[in-house]
Amino acid sequence: MRTLSLITLASVPILAIATPVSRCTGTIASLDDVAAAQKCTTITIQGFTVPAGKALELSLLDNTVVNMAGDVKFGVANWAGPLFSISGKGITFNGNGHTFDGQGPSYWDGQGGNGGVTKPHPMMKIKISGTYSNVKVLNSPAHTYSISNPAKLVMSGLTIDNSAGDAANSQSGGKAAGHNTDGFDVSTTDLTIQDSKIYNQDDCIAINKGSNIVFQRNYCSGGHGISIGSISTGATVTGVQILNNQIINNDQALRIKTKADATGASVSGITFSGNTATGTKKFGVIVDQGYPTTLGTPGNGVTISGINFTGSLNNIAVTSSAQRVAVNCGTGCTGSWDWSQLTVTGGKAADSKYSVKLDRLKHAKWAHTSLTQGLPSRYTSQDASQPWLIYWASQALTCLGIQLENKTKQHVIDTILANQHPDGGFGGGPKQLPHLLPTYASICTLAIVGRPGEGGGWDQIDRKKCYEFFMRMKQPDGSFIVNKDAEVDVRGTYCLLVAATLLDILTPELVEGTSEFLRSCQTYEGGFASSSHPYYSAEDDKPRVLSGPYQRPEDPKVDVKKLVRWATGMQGLPIEGGGFRGRSNKLVDGCYSWWIGGLEPLLLELLGIGNEEAETQVPRHVTEETDSENGPTALFDKTSLQRFTLVSSQVSTGGLRDKPGKSADPYHTAYNLAGYSTAQHRVYRSRTKGHIFILEESKTV
């Protein structure tokens, strides 16, 4: 054993002697020198000319250091290229300000890679990790850099100068001779490009797939701006930071483009911060799912989410003929986008031909199918909520302006009446006990689809028995239990008062003590119930307005200012999409577009400004050309609320949802649409007609 150990130790110096061969210094002054030089870990590139049709290809040992000591020019030949390629791990490449000259003018014909003569494409193929710095590329025939690094790579202090391609030549038909001269085509991970200058006629950078990519403090002149994409089938781009760049005289400043026919692809987690642009000729910011046709019919196969203009202000100036912002999305645009740190000045508003819109037809078909053909088997647990499921579908269709055919109306009426209990009120299904909540849903449904007369539903409601049922639910403190031997729930108070109002059976006897009870439910936050919650707050605030004619001067008053402060605080920030949350520190949810958004006219009423003499302007439609602001009496950001519904709540197959990632359901479909409608209309009390509320469409600013 001792002998073996000594032999093993003795072999170590022998191995050490074998390795220094790679630590030599190689010099490349012609292609003939490459094979020997790339066996060394220190290489110097002298100035020389690469013969036409040949490439300078370096396959380097790990941790090699390369320095340029002269300029390299490439001979001209019509071939595919690339002209220069380099691979290796842990490489340090320093150009020391020297140039790779692609002799672009000898190729340029205004067609780039779309036709004309064959051009080396790309000119520079980078497949290293480590650092690559201080290199100048002059006149690339077409695309300049293609990057697919094996591990982290930092590229800095680079210059790409294709500015000579701005001018026309004898082959370009009067347009710029340089074409498809992209600065950086990126399909990689863990890449930083910084402190570089790019003068060209196409994308300054095009990030086609990859993650953890930083593009910062660069200068882009004369091309198509900074681009995510074009995104093809199966590609994923995520975790990209575009920071503090200057974009001068480009067609676009910041662009996201996905191919209209792409599928199974995604773009997410894109941050734009501190970028400035001047002289932008076509679009300040453009998100386009119709590529290659600008603002063409958008595809639906690429998901775009988490687009954020945050941190430092992005300040974009466009020319008079340019459009400031254009968003051309199919159904793939989703989630919360934060535009808070973006300012675009000059030019005109964008064409909204394919901007995100409410897909009325799909939602109407979805709601109608839910009503007439039934729901999936998972809804069997909702057997005691049958009137609710019918009401939500009917309410959604009403919001969409859809009238049911007479046969379906009658079927709905007959189904609802089958749930009426002989002792008054309605149950959740036939022969079920009466309950305040399904009573509300049943009466609201009959108000939508019913009619006077025999079989019309409205006259078949037993008002006397219903009133007796309501009085049996009444408690000594003014509250109501929801059904026999059940709990007190303020939601039941709301449902009872709405139903009593619609049936014209609201009496002082019925609401005696109710105001005191409701006031006792207000919490320190300003909302109502055991923890401030919009469902309870809405159901507390609305009964106070409904029972208003029977309130006494001595009844305790709700702290309205505290309620307003709480309710307005429930609207999410722009990064959350502008929807409403249910409780403090919870996620936004589409149903609260109604449960809180619907509070606004009631809050204005309680504040004394919700009347027909008040003037308010809120945008009716959310499109890129709206350029609107919320009116002087608006308590909520109605523009953001509408955007939340359009962008985050719609499901491409129809119906609306809680939030992205969830499925459509009748409940969220009804209340998303109700909240969306509230954001587009103004409701106020008539000063001349007493207990009458007036609904009018909001003005488009």
- Is 202 in contact with 223 (CB distance < 8 Å)? yes
* Adjacency order of strands within the sheet including 72-74: 48-50, 72-74, 99-101, 136-138, 159-161, 197-199, 219-221, 246-248, 276-280, 314-318, 342-345
Q: Which residues are catalytic?
A: 224
CA distance from start to end of the chain: 92
Structure tokens at 29: 């002054």
Task: Give the CB-side neighbour count of residue 673, counting CA atoms within 13 A.
Answer: 27
Q: Are strands 693-697 and 681-685 parallel, antiparallel or unpaired?
A: antiparallel
Structure tokens at 353: 């031909």
Euclidean distance between CA atoms 414 and 421, whole angstroms = 14
Task: Give the CB-side neighbour count of residue 402, counting CA atoms within 13 A.
Answer: 21
Q: In 77-135, where do the E strands start and end? A: 84-94, 99-101, 124-133
Euclidean distance between CA atoms 212 and 240, whole angstroms = 6
Euclidean distance between CA atoms 104 and 123, whole angstroms = 10
Structure tokens at 622: 């959310």
Euclidean distance between CA atoms 529 and 489, whole angstroms = 9
Instruction: Calculate Rg over the CA atoms of the chain.
Output: 34
Euclidean distance between CA atoms 366 and 384, whole angstroms = 22
Sequence-separated (6 or more) residues with CB below 8 Å from residue 118:
78, 79, 80
In SS3 terms, 221-260 reads as ECCCEEEEEEECCCCEEEEEEEECCEEECCCEEEEEEEEC
Cis-peptide into 534, omega within 30 deg:
no
Euclidean distance between CA atoms 161 and 147, whole angstroms = 18
Q: What number of residues does the chain have?
A: 701
